[in-house]
Amino acid sequence: MPTLTQLEYIVAVDTYRHFGSAAQKCFVTQPTLSMQIKKAEEELGTILFDRSKQPVIPTDVGVEVVKQARVVLREKERLHQVLADFQNNVSGQLRIGIIPTLAPYLLPLFVGDFVRSHPKIVLQVKELTTEQITIALQNDLLDVGILVTPLYEEQINEQPLFYEEIKLYVHPQHSFYEKSNISLDELVGQDLWLLSQGHCFRNQMINLCAINRNEKSALLPFEYEGGSLEALKRLVDREGGFTLVPELATHNLNGSVRSVASPSPLREISLVSVRNFAKTKALTLLSEQILQAVPKHMHTKNRGQIVEWK
């Protein structure tokens, strides 16, 4: 059977789809990595990678071998983590992916306190879309994601943390401005500023407002494609209309925020990881820190109804 080192090299080639890049990430020379993978293929009696393609791709059997190799390597990491947890030694790198509609509002609430409370944990945070986070988790490029669920991904474990109310940000001359609560029937989306495709909150906007995904508004001055909630709010201020914003993004805003009539639409925020994730102690500490930072009324979902985005 292949050695653990050979499995690490095989997984690296699958991740980076290039022998040279994989060797660099594994801190070995390319001939060394190539030789070890060749030995593993001889041991298994099959070719794992189609080297004629650029980028390199795994063969059909290679896909299955890589999948199992990732499980083996995660279990090896779990063994090390069990010993570290037993010694109460929470340390090492924790790689977090967080979606753009959460990062500017949630990170400042907890990340500084977390690193000060756990100085042995080296935190690395990347702002990515949901799709990018799930792919990175499955390829072991991230340890945990903070995003909107449910995902309905078989290999992903979800740990719900809190629930954000989805609110409206409206222009002072919009008809919604004079109301404290707006019914779902009124959210027809004709003058709704949307995020660009690829953002789960865009899908929630569309689902909540029951609009056609390809519909173009005749009531807005121009079409906008972007990933910034702050940009959408500024467009509302300048050009009119309204947009939807998650609850954490409404703190310290002026009187332009309005609520949707009961039941309040919510989005579920979770920590997600692969099912055989090893750093369970660090994950527990992270969830505790986030929950301490988020207002307690957001810890429960019984104040509204979850709007799914898939």
Helix (H) or strand (E) holding 283: helix 280-293
Q: Which range among 140-144, 187-191, 239-243 shows the weakest confidence by mean pLDDT?
A: 187-191
pLDDT tens digits for 115-153? 999 998 889 999 999 999 999 998 888 999 999 999 988
What is the C-alpha to C-alpha distance for residues 137 and 175, in angstroms, rounded to an integer? 44
Number of compact structural domains in the chain: 3
- 45, 76, 107: which is the final residue of a domain? 76
181 shares its domain with 275: no
Residue 267 has pLDDT above 60, yes or no: yes
Query: Do the domain assignments include residue 306?
Result: no
Distance of CA 208 to the CA centre of its chain: 21
Query: Do the domain assignments include residue 37?
Result: yes
Query: Do the domain assignments include residue 301?
Result: no
149 phi, psi to nearest 5 deg: -125, 170
Residue 197: which pLDDT band, with cuts at 50, 70 and 90? Answer: confident
Compute the average pLDDT of residues 154-164. 93
54 shares its domain with 199: no
Query: Residue 97 belongs to what domain range?
Result: 86-149+271-295
Note whether 143 and 277 are within 8 A (CB).
yes
Residue 78: which pLDDT band, with cuts at 50, 70 and 90? Answer: confident
Query: Do the domain assignments include residue 105?
Result: yes
The pTM for the full model equals 0.76
pLDDT tens digits for 21-34? 999 999 999 999 99
258 shares its domain with 276: no
Residue 86: which pLDDT band, with cuts at 50, 70 and 90? Answer: low
Residue 189: which pLDDT band, with cuts at 50, 70 and 90? Answer: low
3-state secondary structure 143-173: CEEEEEECCCCCCEEEEEEEEEEEEEEECCC
Averaged pLDDT of the chain: 86
